[in-house]
Structure 1
């Protein structure tokens, strides 16, 4: 399989998973994450089951997620999206970086920041 084939396959896998997760189906993560999944975000646990238990209680689990762009390069898939928390907190801009091996997510990084007022970002956040 070429890098292009791998990137396409991984992109499709992540997009299906994102769509399911955004619809409230958190358990989709059990089919996507490797048992020995490594999480690089501070305060978030590694390991498939520990991560799922954590994320099920996190604001992202009940937020409205609006996907803006997807970038795929062989084993990495990057998602850029708006997260609108259900508890009324300000919207967040999120970039997730997923590394996949053999169709399973083995690592994750993210960057999260509040979406500033439009006047502060004349060219837009997204």
Structure 2
């Protein structure tokens, strides 16, 4: 597989999984995450089943997720999105970094930043 088609496939897998998850389909994680999935965020468990159980109870499972941009290169897909809840309407800006192997997500890193008041971000967060 050449670099372009691998990148396109990985981007398509990640975007499909994101859209399904954002629509409330947590089961998409069972087919998208590898069994030996590695999580790099502090406090989050590694392993597909442990991670799914954790995420099912986390605020992200009930949040609104608005995808703003996707950047992909080879094995890596980076997603930038806005996550909001009824309790936190300003929400947080999230950047997820996914590494894919053979069409499944093998590793995950993230960066999360609270969205401040509009006056503090004259050019916007997104």
Task: Give TM-score, length-normalised by structure 1.
Answer: 0.97
CA distance in 2, matches of 1:110, 1:34: 18
| 1:3 Cα deviation from its structure 2 partner | 1.1
CA deviations 1:82-105 (Å, max 9, x no partner) are: 00024x124010000000010111
5+ residue gaps, structure 2, are: none
Runs of 4+ that moved beyond 2 A? none
Partner of 2:125: 125
Aligned-residue CA RMSD in angstroms?
A: 0.7
Distance 1:93 1:62 in 2: 16
Name the count of aligned residue pairs.
Answer: 125
CA separation in 2, counterparts of 1:98 and 1:23?
A: 19
| Alpha-carbon distance in structure 2 between the residues aligned to 1:110 and 1:102 | 21
Structure 1 segment 88-99 matched on structure 2, within 5 A: 88-89=87-88, 90-99=90-99
